A and B are shown apart, each in its own frame.
Chain A
Amino acid sequence: MVSKLSHLQVELLGALLESGLTKETLIKALSEVEPHGLQSESQRAINALQTEKGEPCPDIPNLHNGMGESRLSEDETSDDGEEFTPPIMKELENLSPEEAAHQKAVVERLLQEDPWRVAKMVKSYLQQHNIPQREVVDTTGLNQSHLSQHLNKGTPMKTQKRAALYTWYVRKQREVAQQFTHAGQGILTEESMGDDLPTKKGRRNRFKWGPASQQILFQAYERQKNPSKEEREALVEECNRAECIQRGVSPSQAQGLGSNLVTEVRVYNWFANRRKEEAFRHKLAMDTFSGPQPTSAPPLAPHNSSSLQPPAALSPTKVHGVRYNQQPASEAESSSSNPHGNSSMVTTQTILHQVSPPGLEPSQNLLTTDTKLVSATGGTLPPVSTLTALHSLEQSPHTLSQQTQNLIMASLPGVMAIGAGETPSLAPAFTNTGASTLVIGLASTQPQSVPVINSMGSSLTTLQPVQFSQQLHPSYQQPLMQQVQSHINQSPFMATMAQIQNSHALYGPKSEVAQYTHTGLLPQTMVITDTANLSALTNLTPTKQAFTPDSESHTESGMHTPVSQAPTIHLQNQDTTIQHLQPGPRLTSSPAVSSSSLVLYQSSDSANSHSQLLPSTHNVIETFISTQMASSTQ
């Protein structure tokens, strides 16, 4: 190109370009100014230049404030270096077709990337700038639920929709960059309207506190709960500075925060709200007997805990739950007879605990139950955050819990299914909580807790997670173990109750069977299988008696599980805590199985069951169970 120009032309051209003229503008000017005849030539030149432009795509992900548009300035014509005059025309380029092409190129690249990675990028951008999802939804037309799931969980999104999202993302970055550079240079981008994309009818986005600001405010709150206007103003400055820094922008450009700009009024309101919150918590503490509830609120409140904060959420409930567990456990250990119910309860708790989590419908009930329970216990409804915490608790061990749940569920329905004839026998078993063998006795003997449980109606609290090592994937074991330990609390227990009632919903492929078997055994034995569960149980360490043989496991789930499963089920730590069930009217403690050991609780005919359990070599749990049922049925 340069070769065809005279030296002077080159010089002049170089001068022009250095003065801030961009290729775009030059080309456009050429097409406008050119006399008729030369237009074809200039057009060709223009086209050539434009295509050439398409390449230098900056790293899309690194659109620092959207100003990364490279284009322009790469003019090799003049050998003089670049100059001082920064391309003033740069902003105007945004309107040019090149900008649009550039954006499209960026979007294309994003579409080819791993959607989840890009989703994480977009999500973190939203968090960084405190942009409400609503804004994205309004401008992209995407469904908010779908968008949320895509960004948070990676739910797949079709390419076209993702393109809309990425387009918004690219444009927003540019727009935000302009805001922060107070681009008062008359930028006429299609969208930017000063603060943010034209929200419907000019409605501004709702202000939201950023984490950086909140941290500052909380620290100030600790120092003084009632700051004066001067102090508030100082906080305003500090917060805005922090927010700018969080966004990677110079604090002097705080106006770019737009709707999330911190003002004295907002600070004033924030303090007022915190004072009110504290007063409320104080009131709760005064009202309730037990300590934990009120205390649970403070840590949770500030977090606005969503279900995504299990750790924090767990602590208060955990305390609660632990206490809950400990009593029965100790009792169980001490006595041999009475603890039957206790142990079962404990066990159940543990199991329940595991069960409660995840996303099964029953969990919904669980939550409700838990709530009730808590309130029942405490007398006052804990702040929402507490409830949220409970809810989150239930969400941890999902898979495993499912199984456990299923097992638990196996209760009533299972019972029916398993032993046709047993139904009647079961009934008494059910009702006969503590006394009967059913460890399930939870409902009956449980002291504290669970008034709610009783209300649940089903004495089939046998919710001991009957899990067969085979059925459960080994991978579950570990997480479950950990989870169990941490989740010991009321909720799982309640959850179990709820689950029992919703057994149908919970039936899983495998556990279903287990449930049935379990049910069948209810009157007689409780089989706890699988490492995870066992470990949980172990923690409780009630006096347990468990059968070691593999057959035991069969008992529980074997009912409906294919014969093949029977052998798989095995007690891993047979030696350890498992003790053979001892004949006796009641089973006392929950199995002290360390892991993967099946524990069979035998209510009545322990002797019977025992003998029968052991030889369950025939792997016909059904047989065994039926036998059990028969024997126990009375």
Chain B
Amino acid sequence: AGKAHRLSTEEREQLLPNLRAVGWNELEGRDAIFKEFHFKDFNRAFGFMTRVALQAEKLDHHPEWFNVYNKVHITLSTHECGGLSERDINLASFIEQVAASLS
């Protein structure tokens, strides 16, 4: 598993812009990032979730997510440090890859 320490300001400035560019937003009142995904149908959406789930298990870092039919809302944060950590960044990147391949 990646490092669980909270990202410093410099690190955020370095890593977050890329995610922001693809649609991830930082939540207010909480040190986390969030994004909504839309898919063609439930199958695709769930296929996406399955892949993410398998990877999450591997990374031992799980997202907070919500799914309704073809939509998936994902929130990433690290419980151990109470905020964003490298693990979140990693998982977010992975999610982006999967989503790109499925879209």
Contact = CB atoms under 8 A, between A and B. Distances in A.
A-B complex is real: yes
* Listed residue (B44, B98, B101) with the most chain A CB atoms within 10 angstroms of its CB: B101
A443 B98 CA distance: 90
Most buried by A among B41, B46, B50, B58: B50
A12 B43 CA distance: 9
Interface in A48-88: 78, 80-81, 83-85
A84 B97 contact: yes
Given A83-B97, A83-B98, A83-B101, A11 B55 contact: no
A15 interface: yes
Interface string A12-25: 10111011000000
Interface of B: 41-44, 46-47, 50-51, 54-55, 58, 94, 97-98, 101-102
Given A7-B43, A8-B42, 8 more contacts: A8-B43, A15-B47, A16-B50, A19-B51, A19-B58, A80-B47, A80-B102, A85-B58
Interface residues of A, number: 16
Given A80-B102, A83-B97, A19 B47 contact: no
A421 B51 CA distance: 103
13 contacts: A8-B42, A8-B43, A11-B43, A15-B51, A19-B54, A19-B58, A80-B47, A80-B98, A80-B102, A81-B101, A83-B98, A84-B97, A85-B58
A19 B55 contact: yes
Given A15-B51, A19-B51, A19-B54, A80 B101 contact: yes
Given A19-B55, A85-B58, A12 B101 contact: no
A84 B44 contact: no
B97 A12 contact: no
A566 B38 CA distance: 100
A29 to B, nearest CB: 14
Given A8-B43, A8-B47, A83-B101, A15 B54 contact: yes
Contacts of B102: 80
Given A83-B97, A83-B101, A84-B97, A12 B55 contact: no
Contacts of A15: 47, 50-51, 54
A85 B55 contact: yes
Nearest to B44: A11
A304 B54 CA distance: 58
Contacts of A10: 43
Nearest to A88: B58
Contact of B94 (A11, A80, A84): A84
Contacts of B51: 15, 18-19, 83
Contacts of A16: 50, 54
A11 B97 contact: no
Contacts of B44: 11
The CB with the most chain A CB atoms within 10 A, among B42, B51, B55, B58, is that of B51
A16 B47 CA distance: 9
A7 B47 CA distance: 9
Most buried by B among A12, A15, A16, A19: A15
Contacts of A78: 47
A97 to B, nearest CB: 26
Nearest to B103: A80
Nearest to B53: A15
Contacts of A83: 51, 97-98, 101
A18 B58 CA distance: 13
A533 B42 CA distance: 91
A554 B100 CA distance: 91
A84 B98 CA distance: 9
Give the 5 A-B residue pairs with the shortest CB-CB distance, closest first.
Answer: A11-B47, A15-B50, A19-B54, A80-B101, A7-B43
